[in-house]
Amino acid sequence: MGKPTGFMEYQREVSTAEPPEKRVKHFNEFHEHLPREKQSIQGARCMECGVPFCQSGMMICGMASGCPLHNLIPEWNDLVYNGNWREAYNRLRKTSNFPEFTSRVCPALCEAACTCGLNGEPVSTKENEYAIIENAYADGYAAAKIPKVRTGKSVAVIGSGPSGLAAADQLNQRGHQVTVYERSDRVGGLLMYGIPNMKLEKRIIDRKIRIMEEEGVTFRTSANVGKDVKADSLLKEYDAVILACGASNPRDIKVPGRDAKGIYFAVDYLKANTKSLLDSGFADKKYVETKDKNVVIIGGGDTGNDCVGTAIRHGAKSVTQIEMMPKAPDQRAENNPWPEWPKVCKTDYGQEEAIALYGHDPRIYESTVKEFLKDKEGNLTGVKIVKLSWEKDPATGRMQMKEIPGSEQVLDAEVVLIAAGFLGAQSYVAEAFGVELNERTNVKTQPGKYRTNQEKIFTAGDMHRGQSLVVWAIREGRECAAQVDESLMGYTNMVIQ
């Protein structure tokens, strides 16, 4: 540790965001990051804490605490402080395939478990990571590293989201020949079309994909395996196949009026928006128009927030977000101690923008949809919601939600976006390869394993574990790659922390 008293001498300092009134006028990233000199000072705040929970990545009370990739955070924080940016990059890349992605979209599980945050502000680990990877690109040492030896083995990866890309990167660096199949027209999966451009500019994905191509990975887009590309042909052509197709079945809201025109799944809404932006700068009009419309978003997670920010940028008249759960406390509760993940109220960028533009928080808590209202032509005109209360079931002792009689409320709405999460793998892919699904409709494997019930076929990411974070998908891709490598070579020399 380069500065033993750094955490006492320096205050936490992070990037500044454009004011909401300004940033809603564009779809680009909107943070101004610290210069290297100031970022180095932030590295000095990392303590000699003895047990670095920041890199533990363990489950505590059902929640992740620390980085699932086990990033060597104290090491590269010290290197950042000492200005050794290249070695900091080398230590970061040892455990992380895509710090350019996680430093933008990860919720920073590391910072929530930071010892420095127990009695003050945590180390700005996420922004240190951003500085490491962007300096690496700027200085040229994040360039392609072409494998010197090839094994003669070939692997097909189905899906180019974070888990598929991580598996492909690992296996290619090992020397196997890797081909990635993507059913969309662009590589990236969730990263490309599930996350808006203002959170992750797509040029960042393209930049990394170009490097992977130079290193030897082959990408085939508009290739829908299980439909346009036959599973049998892949099993004949490749020595192993990895299914990394994500959890692509959106949860629906089945209430009266569901057939009204103007109701969309959030994933379709976000994909159409990003595709139109990339294809034509919105000139083709192939996106859901929300200008001067009342928009209701069902779901309070990250996807719901992304819909809030996107609708606002298109000039929505109003935006309302419906959440079934109660509002979380603003500070940690006594039964939620460090280093557990803090279950506190988070106001994200989209909600910040709604507050700035409309004058109030867009979220309505402890509510659910009762009915979608429509006119004679079938167009959506409103959403009837009802308040919920949490009560203990006397028979089971479990808490359950019950509607509060007389609490119905009608919200004006011409557009509804359903952001209620996802349920498991799409059946046509599983059926094409003959792999078993578990009770959650995810591809079934033995605990801690990635091999399916079929010879040569492995799985990773949301398709395997269910809807989760990008950082968990990367970890799954890395671990799956090691097991594929062992099956092909009889051993593996991949170091998985």
Q: 195 vs 192, 268, 271, 347, CA distance in Å?
A: 6, 12, 8, 18
Residue 47 predicted with pLDDT over 80: yes
Residue 354 banded pLDDT, cuts 50, 70, 90:
very high
Distant-in-sequence, close-in-space partners of 340: CB < 8 Å, separation ≥ 6:
60, 61, 63, 65
| Exposure letters 382-400 (e unless 16+ CB within 10 A, then b) | bbbbbbbeeeeeeeeeeee
Name the pLDDT band for 496 (thresholds 50, 70, 90).
Answer: low
Region 64-72: what's the mean pLDDT?
95
Please name the residue ranges forming H helices in 31-182. 36-43, 73-81, 85-95, 99-105, 109-112, 125-139, 162-174
The average pLDDT across 268-292 equals: 98
Reported confidence tier of residue 369, pLDDT bands at 50, 70, 90: very high
**Tell me, what's the pLDDT at 42?**
96
Tokens 């590295």 locate to 43
Q: How much is the pTM?
A: 0.96
* pLDDT at residue 399, as a whole number: 85
- At residue 484, the pLDDT reads 98
Q: In the chain, what percentage of residues exceed pLDDT 90? A: 92
Strands 380-392 and 399-403: antiparallel
pLDDT at 1: 65
Give the model's pLDDT for residue 497: 59
Which fold is adopted by the domain 154-248+423-489?
FAD/NAD(P)-binding domain (3.50.50)
Q: Which two tokens stand for residue 200?
A: 């992750």
Phi, psi of 164 (to 5 degrees): -65, -40
- In the beta sheet, which residues pair with residue 412? 382
Q: Is the pLDDT of residue 394 over 90?
A: no
Q: Quick one: average pLDDT of 176-196?
A: 97
Query: Are 124 and 58 contacting, i.e. CB atoms less than 8 angstroms apart?
Result: no
Select from 187, 178, 151 the least CA-distant residue to 241. 178
pLDDT (0 to 100) of residue 397? 83
Average per-residue pLDDT for the chain:
96
Q: Name which of 292, 310, 291 is nearest 302 in CA terms.
A: 310
pLDDT band at 392 (very low <50, low <70, confident <90, very high): confident
Comparing 154-248+423-489 with 263-418, is the CATH topology the same?
Answer: yes
Tell me: the pLDDT tens digits for 83-100?
999 999 999 999 999 999
Q: For 263-418, which CATH class? A: alpha beta
DSSP state of 55: G
Separation of alpha carbons 470 and 161, rounded Å: 9
Q: What is the reported pLDDT for 393?
A: 85
Fold of 6-139: Fumarate Reductase Iron-sulfur Protein; Chain B, domain 2 (1.10.1060)
Average pLDDT for residues 293-321, to the nearest whole number? 97
Residue 153 pLDDT greater than 70, yes or no: yes
Between 458 and 64, residue with greater pLDDT: 458
Pick the residue with more confidence: 5 or 417?
417
Contact 167, 244 (CB under 8 A): yes
Rounded Cα distance between 415 and 396, Å, is: 39
> Does the pLDDT at position 476 exceed 90?
yes
- Answer whether residue 179 shows pLDDT above 80: yes
22 or 118: which carries more pLDDT confidence?
22
pLDDT at 48: 79
> What does the domain layout of the chain look like in residue ranges?
6-139, 154-248+423-489, 263-418
Gap between the Cα atoms of 18 and 147, Å rounded: 41
Q: Which helix (H) or strand (E) holds 20?
A: helix 20-23
